[in-house]
């Protein structure tokens, strides 16, 4: 899954590069595809790696927060030292912090990541107060949106990840029929958004209950893994090639019905994931490549902000190259040392019988 994860991360990078004429899968769909992959991996490790939920929770926090803290620090320097951010400025933060309630919300969410997705539901009044705005506002010269008060805006998706992690140990004990039933309920709630005055992209993309089914699709994919493992691994190579082509070439597919294409993307990713995992679970090179996906996702806006602020030459190549370089630095100096500690903690309290491939996979 390593190449697939990096391709999804690069899809997000390209979606945030306004000067890039070529796009992969849309950024929003790439993030939601990550939810499916995350559901698969969390079901996998809970089935064979973690003896207790406390260890699972602490190891997930150790996976997410070190890189997040580093990027918060770098972004703070970029904003207040160089005013080099594509989404915020010192003046914007000063306006938002006029209101004590807004300041408290932003401090809490920037520290914990929890609830960051809900800031997309609010615009900011001239006095700094958060105002519920279900029209799905986008920032412009006259409009400030709540999420602009986030140091690392793309971490809104990690807020949803954390909510899923809280549920995952309990969901992993359910029979697949109950997981499927909950997924259908989530889909039903998502479709019900058409009946509300709420902006539908906001309803379907920034509301955890309507996104839950994607994590559950991944969990169902893991439940299918024993059957997939009985099939030739060549099917996994074919699935990987097909999925990569789908991600990279998505913009060339017919878009007469964008909604249908969105559901097609969910189906393709969910169906292909167990096949790709089964084929590449023991491939160390692919796994190492995949470990870059999280740093790429977390560093991209920081690098893009510098490129856009200083109007550097060859902005697309510098943005992509700079993101990959910084991601590699963080992977080697931050992620890998902490991940070795995480793996030692898990190894001391692992189930006697690990799930297929669980011991050889660095979780997302």
The predicted pLDDT at position 343 comes to 82
The predicted pLDDT at position 254 comes to 82
Reported as a single tens digit per residue, the pLDDT across 205-216 is 999 999 999 999
Of the chain, the percentage scoring pLDDT greater than 70 comes to 95
The predicted pLDDT at position 364 comes to 55
For the purposes of burial, counting CB atoms within 10 Å of the CB of 67, is it exposed (0-12), middle (13-18) or buried (19 or more)? Answer: buried
Of residues 148, 183, 149, the one with CA closest to residue 167: 183
Q: What is the band of 94 on the pLDDT scale with cuts at 50, 70, 90?
A: very high
Please, what is the average pLDDT of the chain? 92
Instruction: Tell me the longest C-alpha to C-alpha distance in the chain.
Output: 62
- Higher-confidence residue of 34 and 361: namely 34
The predicted pLDDT at position 51 comes to 66
Of residues 185, 156, 271, the one with CA closest to residue 220: 271
* Distance (Å, whole) CA 329 – CA 314: 22
The predicted pLDDT at position 258 comes to 84
Asked whether residue 198 carries a pLDDT value surpassing 90, the answer given is yes
The predicted pLDDT at position 53 comes to 86
Strands 130-132 and 122-124, by their bridges, are antiparallel
Asked whether residue 168 carries a pLDDT value surpassing 90, the answer given is yes
| Interval 275-294 mean pLDDT | 95
Long-range contacts of 139-146 (CB under 8 A, 24+ apart): 139/87, 144/92, 144/95, 144/96, 145/119, 145/120, 146/118, 146/119, 146/120, 146/121, 146/122
* DSSP SS3 for 131: strand
The predicted pLDDT at position 89 comes to 95
Helices (H) and strands (E) in the chain, counts: 16, 2
Structure tokens at 245: 């082509």
Reported as a single tens digit per residue, the pLDDT across 259-281 is 889 999 999 999 999 999 999 99
Whether the CB-CB separation of 50 and 42 falls below 8 Å is answered with no
Reported as a single tens digit per residue, the pLDDT across 64-86 is 999 999 999 999 999 999 999 99
pTM of the model: 0.93
Domain positions in the chain are: 2-80+154-351, 89-150
Reported as a single tens digit per residue, the pLDDT across 314-364 is 999 999 999 999 999 999 999 999 999 888 877 776 543 333 333 333 335
Asked whether residue 237 carries a pLDDT value surpassing 70, the answer given is yes
Q: What is the band of 287 on the pLDDT scale with cuts at 50, 70, 90?
A: very high
């Amino acid at each position: 899954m390593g190449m697939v994860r990096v391709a999804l991360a690069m899809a997000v990078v390209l979606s945030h590069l306004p000067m890039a004429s070529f796009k992969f899968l849309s950024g929003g769909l790439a993030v939601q595809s990550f939810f499916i992959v995350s559901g698969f991996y969390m079901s996998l490790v809970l089935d064979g790696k973690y003896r207790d939920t406390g260890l699972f929770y602490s190891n997930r926090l150790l996976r997410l927060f070190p890189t997040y803290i580093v990027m918060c620090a770098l972004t703070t320097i970029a904003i207040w030292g160089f005013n080099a951010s594509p989404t915020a400025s010192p003046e914007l933060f000063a306006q938002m912090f006029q209101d004590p309630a807004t300041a408290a919300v932003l401090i809490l969410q920037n520290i914990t990541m929890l609830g960051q997705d809900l800031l997309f539901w609010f615009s900011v009044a001239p006095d700094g107060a958060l105002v519920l705005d279900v029209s799905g506002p986008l920032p412009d010269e006259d409009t400030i949106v709540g999420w602009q008060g986030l140091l690392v805006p793309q971490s809104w998706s990690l807020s949803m990840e954390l909510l899923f992690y809280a549920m995952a140990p309990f969901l992993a004990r359910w029979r697949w029929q109950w997981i499927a039933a909950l997924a259908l309920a989530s889909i039903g709630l998502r479709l019900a958004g058409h009946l509300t005055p709420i902006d539908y992209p906001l309803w379907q993309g920034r509301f955890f209950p309507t996104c839950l089914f994607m994590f559950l699709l991944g969990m169902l994919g893991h439940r299918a893994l024993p059957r997939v493992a009985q099939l030739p691994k060549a099917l996994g190579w074919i699935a990987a090639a097909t999925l990569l082509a789908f991600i990279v070439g998505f913009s060339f597919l017919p878009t007469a019905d964008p909604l249908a294409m969105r559901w097609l993307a969910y189906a393709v990713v969910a169906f292909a994931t167990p096949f790709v995992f089964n084929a590449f679970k023991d491939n160390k090179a692919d796994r190492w490549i995949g470990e870059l996906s999280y740093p790429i996702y977390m560093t991209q806006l920081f690098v893009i902000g510098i490129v856009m602020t200083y109007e550097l030459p060859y902005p697309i190549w510098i943005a992509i190259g700079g993101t990959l370089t910084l991601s590699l630095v963080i992977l080697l100096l931050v992620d890998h040392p902490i991940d070795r500690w995480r793996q030692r903690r898990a190894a001391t309290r692992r189930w006697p019988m690990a799930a297929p491939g669980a011991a050889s996979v660095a979780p997302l």
